[in-house]
Amino acid sequence: MEKKLPTIEIIEKYCKGCHICVEFCPTKVLEMQGFVAAVKNLEACIKCMQCELRCPDFAIKVKP
Amino acid sequence: MAFDYDKYLRPGKLPHIWCPGCGHGIVMKGMIRAIDTLGLKKENTAIVSGIGCASRLPGYMDCCTLHTAHGRAAAFATGVKMARPEMTVLLVGGDGDGTAIGGNHFIHACRRNIDMTYIIMNNNIYGMTGGQFSPCTPTGAKASTTPYGNPDPAFDVAKLAIGAGATFVARGTAYHANQIDKLITEAIQHKGFSVVEILDDCPTTYGRRNKFKSVIEMMNRLKDIAVPVKAAEKMTPEQLQGKVLTGILYKEDKPEYCEQYAKVIERAQGGAK
């Protein structure tokens, strides 16, 4: 059965590049691309929502 | 399901002014989740603040908001609550706003036990005005006005609130993001003056001067120093050295101010014989 991947929306206008989402993601889905966060490895996402919960800038929206 | 914060935010106000990595945004999210959990109506919720970084919060919230004089959030909020006792009144502010400039208002609001919730975001420093030391700056820490280390001992906001007579006192941290909304929810539900102290990070004016290499290091410090109240019961005083207790620290039921005042009005009008 094919795994249903979540969608991780990063609003680049809001992201201030604090690294919180990148560091606290337990499966290293996110990375920094320049000054903003970006999705690197969506397959690894376990939908724990830590990035959305911890983002201080309302910049990440995860739709599981 | 992802939480929809947008319905509680004023459109077009984001991105907010807080620095990269500032925990105020995390606290604001917790507050929004608490408001949502309780199903509070926007037109029946007042958010009052003074001046400071944390006090910019009401500007982003789509509720009844009031941005007042430095440290005077409690005074203005008391007015709101007295005039409209059915409203849910939330106060937000930082440690400098709440315990130094508004220290007197803070302790007397605690003493009065008026039904409001005060969320103090304690980032150990005056962030907006340029990194001056606040009453919550730890001893020895550097600030722009204490370049050789702060000689003063810091306030314990929770103990101050308990001593002043607040009937619900809790403490959380910006690292424990999941806990923030639960503490604020309980604080709002409590009838009486509730204080929720959230330990926060200020990477720009505090972290930089105190050898924190990154936001992550500051967040991990919050994780390391926090001990839940229940876990602390099994720990020795030596183990608790340098730690802070988190969770609900104090709760009691006392007569609430608005109700007491209503009785005074009744007596003055000759109702009670």
Give per-residue pLDDT as tens, B189-227.
999 999 999 999 999 999 999 999 999 999 999 999 999
Domain residue limits at A27: 7-63
Tell me if A2 is assigned to some domain. Answer: no
CATH code of the domain containing A30: 3.30.70.20
Q: Give residues with Cβ within 8 angstroms of B156, minimum separation 6.
A: none
Superfamily of domain B19-268: Thiamin diphosphate (ThDP)-binding fold, Pyr/PP domains (3.40.50.970)
**Which of B14, B123, B176, B198 best probes binding to A when mutated, by most A CB atoms within 10 angstroms?**
B14
Strands A60-63 and B45-49: unpaired
The single residue listed with the structure tokens 């130094």 is B100
A37 within domain boundaries: yes
Determine the residue among B198, B217, B219 to mutate to test chain A binding: the one whose Cβ has the most chain A Cβ atoms within 10 Å. B219
For residue B211, how many other CB atoms are within 10 A of its CB?
A: 8
**Amino acid occupying residue B175:** Y
* Contact status of A18 with chain B (Cβ, < 8 Å): yes
Contact B21, B174 (CB under 8 A): no
Which residues on A lie below 8 Å from B22 (Cβ)?
56
DSSP, collapsed to helix, strand or coil, labels residue B37 as helix
**Domain residues of chain B, as ranges?**
19-268
**B49: nearest Cα among B97, B5, B112:** B97
- Residue A23 near residue B216 (C-beta atoms within 8 A): yes
Contact, A58 vs A9, CB < 8 A? no
Number of domains in chain A: 1
How many residue contacts between A and B have a Cβ separation below 8 Å? Answer: 58
pLDDT tens-digit profile of B107-126? 999 999 999 999 999 999 99
Q: Tokens 């700056």 appear where?
A: B137
- Pick the more confident residue, A4 or A9: A9
How far is Cα B230 from Cα B248, in angstroms, rounded to an integer? Answer: 10
A1 is a domain residue: no
Structural domain contains residue A12: yes
Q: In chain B, what residues touch A24 (CB-CB under 8 Å)?
A: 219
B101 — pLDDT class (breaks 50, 70, 90): very high
